[in-house]
Amino acid sequence: MRRHIAAVSAATLLTLACAAGVAEAQPTSLYAPSAVVLTVAQGGEDGTVVRAATLSCAPTAQGTHPDPEAACAALAATAGTLDTLLATPDTDRACPMHYDPVTVTADGVWQGKRISWKHSFSNACVMATTLNGNALYAF
């Protein structure tokens, strides 16, 4: 009888442990993950990163970015297609014609989907003109 009780107790503990493990495997949030690392590098594609910021947008805006709310709004406006950042450069601003490349990147997850974006500009002025007022790279 004692063996039977021990076997039932062990089976019960195993069942409870498995159930707890399944419960822990369930998602803890209703929001799809949205977290990215943004960088600005001097020197083109393989340049040296001179600035970087982290940004998490769900469930609340946070990270090392100085204005995570505005940056999350700017990222949301792209719908995960960061090439849209390049659509409306400021044509009223003139930039020098010297070549001193700057590359911006965004790597991470946007609404549960992996994103990896990189774009190079001929110099910092062209970057500022192209990203005109966009909060995403204002760090």
CATH number of the structural domain spanning residue 68: 3.30.350.10
Q: Tell whether 65 is covered by a domain.
A: yes
pLDDT higher than 60, residue 20 = no
Give which of 36, 53, 49 is closest to 106, Cα–Cα.
Answer: 36
pLDDT tens-digit readout, 84-102:
999 777 888 889 999 999 9
Asked if 110 and 76 count as a contact pair (C-beta separation under 8 A), the reply is: no
pLDDT higher than 80, residue 77 = yes
Q: Output the pLDDT for position 21.
A: 43
Q: Tell whether 69 is covered by a domain.
A: yes
Q: Tell whether 75 is covered by a domain.
A: yes
Distance, in Å, from the CA atom of 77 to the CA atom of 97, rounded to the nearest integer, reads 31
- Residue 30: which region, alpha, beta or left (left: phi > 0; alpha: psi -120 to 50)? alpha
Q: Output the pLDDT for position 29.
A: 56
Q: Tell whether 126 is covered by a domain.
A: yes
Residues near 98 by Cβ (< 8 Å), separated by ≥ 6?
123
Q: Tell whether 72 is covered by a domain.
A: yes
Structural domain boundaries, residue 49 = 31-137
Q: Tell whether 20 is covered by a domain.
A: no
Determine the average pLDDT of the residues in 2-25: 40
Residue 106: strand, helix, or coil: strand
Distance, in Å, from the CA atom of 75 to the CA atom of 97, rounded to the nearest integer, reads 29
Q: Tell whether 96 is covered by a domain.
A: yes
Distance, in Å, from the CA atom of 42 to the CA atom of 94, rounded to the nearest integer, reads 21
Q: What is the pTM of this model?
A: 0.73
